[in-house]
Each structure stands twice: as structure tokens, then as C-alpha cells.
Chain A
């Protein structure tokens, strides 16, 4: 048992954990028709439940994360997100198979058939309302809302964690300075979500579940939601301990754990390591490699793709909307890129100019 927990702790190394998550995600998209079959999905659900029970029996995990009352929503979130991901992809798989046979989606079976709101819709709403009330009452009855010692400006908790739904944002702070991680990128999440209807030119899949007809849009959305949001919440909730160091889920939090911080800027790599020269004095020469790299990333990739792989999309969307779409996606990709660079080569900043670090 201890050996198994050590193994799981080792798997929870951030780089390995992200790799496994992305691999599972890609497998889900590739084999969504097989994975969502009730028997297989049921087995996955049972496995998740077993993992929860297994985790709930571990002293360290309960003490550090799982047992904190404000973290109760996290297993609830995982369970519901997994369930509804299954439900929507299962329905998509059924509809996609129907489409291959030339049939309309299952939702269209009933055509424009309508029922009276009273009693059909009102009744199911009422049942929902009763169930939610019952659940909430039992939850409130059984579990006290958390209350820590009175506020004190002189006693800083370690780690000081944000509420669970903001943990992905807090995790971004590790890889970017606050102006990006705390302001610009969250702002772009909201702007990006609002832009979705205007940068998705695909008229298909309106009002029914499908994956085959909207592969690009659904893959991008699910990557953002499941990997960059949900998985990063798991990082923040279960893998981050004192001084925001990484700990395995079954590891005891040691606030004296020393982690060598040898993060290096791109400019130092470029001038000192590769060219063997001291850093130039002027910032615009010193940071030229990083500035060129980031500018190239945003300026070169969209036109390159517009003339090659995404020619059709470019023609459909037009210059402005195509560029908005591409830049939103590039900003989204910036986070996993920076994470990988941090873990692989201890990269600190691509561009290191005070107040403008990237």
C-alpha cells in the first residue's frame, strides 16, 4: 500500500501529471464513441469513486486537502463534470452514428413537436427544485461551514489558497507575473468566451449534441475547460503545499522543504550560455531574442496557418475575425508552453523587462 502511494506521488509530479492528463484527453477525443459506451464509462466512473474512497482513507490527503470543508465542492465538481462530459459525448456519439446512416439527430426525431409547459416542463422543474433543496439541506445539516480563527493581518497562513474555483488562476501565477496571470489572461478568458459565437462560423451542431460536425470548436473548448481549468484546480487543491511547493497527494506537507530555485531567463540562456558573452547593458538588445520570439509567435503563426492548413477557415472568417480567433488560441497555448518550458529548462521569463515580464 505504501509503495503504491509512493508510486502515485511520483506520478503526480507536475510534468508527468499534465502529460497523463493530456494523453487521456486526446484518447477521449479520438475514441469518444468507444469510451462513452455505458459499460466502459461505468467502469471509469467506478474507478473514480474508488479513487475518492482510497484518497479519503489517507491521513495526509484528508488533512491537507480533501478534509477541508471548502474543498468538498471539488469531488462534486469532478464527479459532475465527468458525468456530463460522458453524457454529452455519449449523445454526440449516438447522433454522429445516426448522421453516418443519413438519419437526423435524435433530438430532431420529435421534430417541431411541442408539449404544454404545464404540466410537462413545470413538473420536471419542480422535481429538480425538490432534489436540489433536499441535497442542500442535508449538506448544510451534516457539514458546518468553515470558520478559521479571527482575521489577523500579522499571521500569514502558509499556503494561502484562493477559493477552489479560482485555483487555476492562482496556479497561473507560478508561470507568469501577476499582470499577465492575474489580469490579462483572466480578462482574455472572459473576452474569449464572449467571442465564441462570433469566431465559430460553423452552422452545424446548433441545438443538438454532436462531435464529428464540430471537432475543432469542441476540442478547443474542452482543452481549455478540462485541462487548463479543471486539471489546474486539481494542482492547486491537491498538489500545492507550503510555500506553494509541489507535493504528492499522499505526501506529508513539510514547510521546510527546500526546492532549488534556479530559474533562468531566456536572455541569460542566449547571451551567457550560448554566445558566452556578458548580458548587454541596453534592455532592447538584451531582450531582443525574447521580444523577437514572442512577436514572431503572435505575428507569424496566424498568417502561416492562413496560407496552409487553415486556408478554408481564413476565407470563411475574414481577416479580422480570423486573427481574433488565432490570437485567443495563441494566448491560451501560452500557458502550457510556459509550463513545459519551466519544467524542462527552468525558464523564468521569455522577456525580462521590469514590470513587463513575460
Chain B
């Protein structure tokens, strides 16, 4: 025991350790404050937190779980990208071999179940924020950022649904994107679309409407697969990361975890 303790102390005293953690063991008030303030990740938190706000029965930890799931999905997603081609002839076989031929063949499982879990944890986070009235002043704007993040989470899940390129994928996405053709004004079967024309030439057609832009074609095809792949892996996570930064920043700026005034 004393050897372990001694080794520990030696490590803490070493130049390498002290170059990383610029404070002593977090047993004093000062060092506990330093532990949070001098760490780029932990300093998302304030040095001290409201006692009632730390209780898990109050926060349900759902916001934190959502963020953790996002990180887990990013890591597993990057690993999946090493093996996956977003092309009609390769996508499905890549998915099959992810299970059969790759070491630790549960990356896709982790990614898919993690995605379902994240949709659920976002809902529950919003549920908690509503039930504690935490959208009320001064947190109105951050609630709005949260609603957009909820939407992005659903879109992330939906765009990812197409990538395995199986029957489940194309038909769920076909059903979903068929809605776009009925979009008022900018979908070719939507109300108001027939009003947009020059002479006899319709401006909004099956080849120029919002659904066409979404699918990159008139049907769910290989071009759609590439489009959804880019949306899923780059575009939507990019937007989500920026909004998450705003979301966390505003939690701090709006007074931290909510509590009775």
C-alpha cells in the first residue's frame, strides 16, 4: 500500500504530471476550483453548482446523457466510416461485412442503438426542462436553441436510416421524403405550387421542387444515398456541434442549472 501511495506521489511530483495538471490533489477548496477552471472540458461547468441542481432526481441527467451519446455516436460513426462506401452497389455489403468480417463487430449496433437512445434522451431532457419551468426568463432563448437541437437529432437519425441501403432504409426514407412533394408552394403537389408559373411553364415540377433538392433526383437512388451520407456525417453534426456550444455557453450565462429564484 505504501509503495502504491509513494509511486502515486512520485507521479504527481513529476514534471510530466505537473505540466498537465497545474494544481495539487483536489482536496482543498482552492484545488477543487482549479480542477474545474483549469480544464478545458470541465470548465463547461461553473466552479460551484447549486446544491438542488446537482440532484439527479431534479435534472434526470438527461442533458448530460444526450451529450455523452452524441460523443459515443461520433466515435462509433468515425469507425464505421472507415469501412463504408455510400454507393448503391457497395453500401449493403459493407454493412453485412461490418458484422461478419470486422473485429469488434458491434460498432454498427452501438451506433444504431445509441441513436435510438439519443432520440429518447433528448425528449426526456426537454420533458424535464419543461416540467421544471426552466424555459422561463432568462432561459427563453436557450430553450429555442434546444428545440433546434431536437430537430437536428431527429434529422440525424432519419438521414442515418437510409445508409444501410436495405428495404427498411429506402422505404422509410421514401415514405418520409414523399411529404416534401406536398410542401406548400415549393413542393410540386403542394398547395400554391400551381400558382408559380411563367405563361404555361410551371416553375415547381417534380424535377425542380424541394423533394428533388432533398433526394437529388425524382426517386430515392444512389444520388440520394450520397446526399444523405454527407448530411448525416458532415452537415448536420457540424450544425449540431455549433448549436451545442451555444447551448452549453448559454446554460452558464443564463445562471447555470435552474433552481428556485
Contacts and interface: CB of A to CB of B under 8 A. Distances in A.
B260 interface: yes
A166 B88 CA distance: 25
Interface string A193-211: 1101110101111111110
Contacts of B184: 179, 183-184
B176 A145 contact: no
A121 B54 contact: yes
A88 B106 CA distance: 36
A149 B69 CA distance: 29
- Tell me the interface secondary structure of chain A in the complex: helix
B65 A132 contact: yes
A87 B119 contact: no
B166 A149 contact: yes
A316 interface: no
Nearest to B133: A205
Nearest to A147: B166
A137 B120 CA distance: 17
Interface string B187-223: 1011111100000000000000000000000011100
B9 interface: no
B60 interface: yes
B44 to A, nearest CB: 10
B117 interface: yes
Contact of A114 (B35, B50, B161): B50
Contact of A183 (B117, B134, B182): B182
A155 B168 CA distance: 11
A76 interface: yes
A114 B51 contact: yes
B52 interface: yes
Contact of B168 (A148, A178, A197): A148
B24 interface: no
Nearest to B92: A150
A160 B132 contact: no
Interface string A63-95: 000000010110011001100100110011000
A152 interface: yes
Q: Which of B50, B150, B258 has the most CB of A within 10 A?
A: B50
Contacts of A91: 57
A214 B130 CA distance: 11
Contacts of B110: 136-137, 140
B101 to A, nearest CB: 14
B181 interface: yes
Contacts, number: 267
Contact of A196 (B112, B135, B172): B135
Contacts of B68: 128-129, 132
Interface stretch (B10-18, B137-145, B232-240): B137-145
B136 interface: yes
Nearest to B99: A144
B172 A163 contact: yes
Nearest to B95: A147
Interface of A: 70, 72-73, 76-77, 80-81, 84, 87-88, 91-92, 104-105, 107-110, 112-122, 124-125, 128-129, 132-133, 136-137, 139-141, 143-153, 155-157, 160-166, 170, 177-179, 181-184, 190, 193-194, 196-198, 200, 202-210, 214, 218, 221, 225, 355-356
Complex A-B, nearest 5 residue pairs according to Cβ-Cβ distance, in ascending order: A182-B179, A197-B140, A178-B182, A140-B109, A108-B260
Interface of B: 26, 29, 32-33, 35-36, 42, 45-52, 54, 56-58, 60-61, 64-65, 68-69, 72, 88, 92, 95-96, 99, 106, 108-114, 116-117, 119-120, 123-124, 126-128, 130-137, 139-140, 143-144, 147, 150-151, 154, 157-158, 161, 164-172, 174-176, 178-184, 187, 189-194, 219-221, 258-261
15 contacts: A113-B50, A115-B48, A116-B32, A117-B49, A122-B45, A136-B72, A136-B110, A140-B113, A141-B109, A150-B167, A160-B174, A161-B172, A170-B175, A206-B134, A207-B134
